[in-house]
């Protein structure tokens, strides 16, 4: 049983982070001076406590105000907290950015929340019964169609595009052959063989309607499941339900594709986690996903006068793998496990558009320019007085031009897949409060026994919390303090990874010793 007292036990073989210096990159002289000044300041211990409370966030939000908690029955003030109680006079709160490129600390926390959210939907936990692990589960990847030939990596170290036909040049005179064996870090990967042949307009339009294509896919999949069961789509909720968790990721060519865990449950119940019907297995569900993807179509309206309507669909490359029966690509002898897939999706969820779309390549610059041009054409006519569709379907395209037209959420789930991020975040806040109270009282606390209570939405309703808070700014005082926080976050990440590796090593060593003892006894 893991308790608060366990934290004080010297069980770790990994050196604590305070025994190793921080890795700080080369800084500008003025930033280095700010960093040194903070390290030598009289209130450094107070500042380090503050920065650790927000998990070494790179851009915390500064708030001023107070929160008062009253007993509803008597109106008595139970407790009070004010930013003036802090040494700095302000309260710091995590920025909460999911993008690793913006804040490594908050991104790690978001990834951890996503991991637990996704894993709960495939293996149980966090209020989800373990029985969901027996339901059919498929890991699917849906890609964008081709908008033109691009350089890419090939299986078994194959050459990029070894065409040997006579028509080896496109209409613009560019060769359409490439005999290079690209690796994943090759800057040419994802770049068109001929930029003039590449359909940049359709690329941006497809991105704009990608969320609609996903919505239609979920409808098509439910209909396919109903057809397989020999019932109507209207009657499907009485027999089965389709649940999913999905994340979006940018390919190197700048096109979005979707990774999704798709689970088939039984009929809807009060808790939403009924066993699946025996008439459907994971391989059958994988085939139905393939069929639904191929059936999705959407007629996109023209962006502007003179533009043509487009019939949009997903790409031909669709990967569907039943979880627990498919093999890992990095180790074919091992099964594709729920933990592995949850880790995949959590990692994808922390990547942002800027991780790919800000790379300085001619292809991505042209995609950005195309998105901006289409946005202008969608909302303006030949002259400023003649506006075309100012409130049309592409009116907000300019807002999403930096993300190459993709306007969807990077992580979504169906209502009954598992817990929500909000529940996990509230549970963490409650757990931190319980830990603080237990430490002050010197009591033992088993958070696993309190998991259901921590995740419950119907918490104690005997108190009333009234807060008065105002925004005071974002970030640390200067770039030197930010560099310290970022370096500390990197050290915390490395230390956490080392602790995990150390636990796995000790677990494997224990299993090996147990196996040896059994063999000796035999």
The residues, ordered by sequence, that sit 6+ positions from 356 with a Cβ below 8 Å of its Cβ are 250, 251, 252, 254, 364
The pLDDT assigned to 129 comes to: 85
The pLDDT assigned to 367 comes to: 93
DSSP states along 82-149? EGGGSTTSSEEE------TTT-HHHHHHHHHHHHHHHHHHHH-BTTB-GGGGGS-EEEEEE----SS-
Q: Which two tokens stand for residue 131?
A: 């029985």
Backbone CA torsion sign across 504, 508, 514, 518: positive
User: d(Cα 426, Cα 445) in Å, to the nearest integer?
Assistant: 18
User: d(Cα 183, Cα 153) in Å, to the nearest integer?
Assistant: 6
The pLDDT assigned to 11 comes to: 41
The pLDDT assigned to 18 comes to: 54
Helix (H, G, I), strand (E, B) or coil at 268: coil
Ramachandran quadrant class, 96 (left: phi over 0; alpha: psi -120 to 50; beta: rest) = left
Helix (H, G, I), strand (E, B) or coil at 274: coil
Say if residues 213 and 314 touch (Cβ distance below 8 Å). yes
User: d(Cα 258, Cα 247) in Å, to the nearest integer?
Assistant: 6
Q: What are phi and psi of 57, to 5 degrees?
A: -60, 140
Backbone CA torsion sign across 505, 509, 510, 511: positive
Per residue of the chain (522 residues), what is the pLDDT tens digit?
333 333 333 344 445 555 667 778 788 999 999 999 999 999 899 999 899 889 899 999 999 999 988 888 888 888 888 989 888 889 999 998 887 778 888 888 888 888 888 888 888 888 888 888 888 999 999 999 999 889 888 877 788 877 655 567 888 888 778 888 888 888 888 889 888 899 999 999 999 999 999 999 999 999 999 999 999 999 998 899 999 999 998 988 999 999 999 999 988 776 667 777 778 899 999 999 999 999 999 999 999 888 889 999 999 999 998 887 555 555 555 666 777 777 777 777 766 555 565 567 889 999 999 999 999 988 875 444 444 556 689 989 999 998 899 998 888 999 889 888 888 888 888 887 778 777 777 888 777 777 777 777 655 567 788 889 999 999 999 999 999 999 988 888 888 778 878 877 777 776 666 555 555 554
């Amino acid at each position: 049983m893991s308790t608060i007292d366990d934290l004080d036990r010297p069980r770790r073989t990994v050196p604590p982070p305070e025994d190793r210096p921080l890795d700080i990159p080369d800084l500008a002289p003025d930033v280095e001076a700010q960093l040194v000044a903070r390290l030598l300041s009289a209130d450094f211990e107070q500042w380090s406590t503050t920065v650790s409370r927000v998990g070494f966030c790179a851009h915390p939000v500064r708030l001023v105000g107070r929160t008062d908690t009253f007993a509803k029955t008597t109106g008595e003030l139970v407790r009070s907290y004010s930013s003036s109680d802090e040494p700095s006079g302000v309260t710091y709160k995590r920025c909460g950015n999911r993008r690793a490129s913006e804040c490594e600390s908050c991104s790690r926390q978001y990834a951890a929340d996503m991991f637990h959210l996704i894993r709960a939907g495939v293996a149980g936990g966090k209020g989800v019964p373990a029985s969901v692990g027996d339901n059919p589960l498929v890991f699917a990847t849906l890609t964008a169609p081709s908008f033109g030939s691009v350089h890419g990596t090939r299986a078994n170290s194959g050459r990029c595009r070894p065409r040997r036909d006579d028509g080896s040049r496109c209409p613009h005179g560019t060769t359409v052959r490439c005999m290079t064996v690209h690796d994943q870090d090759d800057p040419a990967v994802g770049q068109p063989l001929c930029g003039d042949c590449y359909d940049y307009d359709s690329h941006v339009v497809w991105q704009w309607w990608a969320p609609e294509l996903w919505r239609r896919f979920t409808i098509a999949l439910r209909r396919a499941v109903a057809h397989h069961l020999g019932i109507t789509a209207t009657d499907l909720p009485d027999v089965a339900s389709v649940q999913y968790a999905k994340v979006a990721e940018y390919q190197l060519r700048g096109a979005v594709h979707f990774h999704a865990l798709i689970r088939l449950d039984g009929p809807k119940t009060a808790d939403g986690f009924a066993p699946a019907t025996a008439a459907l297995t994971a391989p059958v569900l994988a085939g139905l996903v393939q069929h639904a993807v191929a059936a999705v179509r959407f007629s996109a309206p023209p962006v502007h006068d003179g533009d043509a309507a487009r019939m949009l669909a997903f790409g031909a490359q669709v990967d569907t793998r039943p979880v627990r029966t498919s093999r890992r690509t990095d180790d074919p002898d091992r099964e594709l496990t729920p933990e592995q897939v949850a880790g995949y999706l959590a990692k994808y969820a922390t990547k942002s558009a800027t991780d790919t779309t800000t790379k300085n390549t001619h292809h991505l610059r042209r995609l950005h320019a195309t998105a901006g041009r289409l946005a202008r054409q969608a909302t303006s006519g030949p002259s400023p007085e003649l506006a075309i569709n100012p409130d049309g379907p592409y009116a907000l395209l300019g807002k999403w031009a930096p993300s190459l037209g993709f306007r969807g959420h990077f992580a979504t789930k169906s209502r009954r897949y598992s817990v929500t991020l909000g529940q996990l975040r509230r549970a963490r806040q409650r757990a931190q409060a319980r830990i603080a109270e237990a430490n002050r009282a010197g009591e033992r606390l088993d958070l696993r026994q309190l998991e259901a209570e921590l995740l419950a939405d119907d918490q104690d309703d005997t108190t009333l919390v009234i807060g008065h808070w105002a925004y005071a700014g974002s970030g640390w005082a200067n770039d030197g303090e930010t560099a310290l926080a970022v370096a500390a976050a990197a050290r915390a990440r490395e230390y956490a990874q080392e602790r995990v590796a150390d636990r796995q090593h000790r677990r494997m060593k224990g299993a090996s010793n147990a196996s040896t003892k059994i063999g000796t006894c035999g």
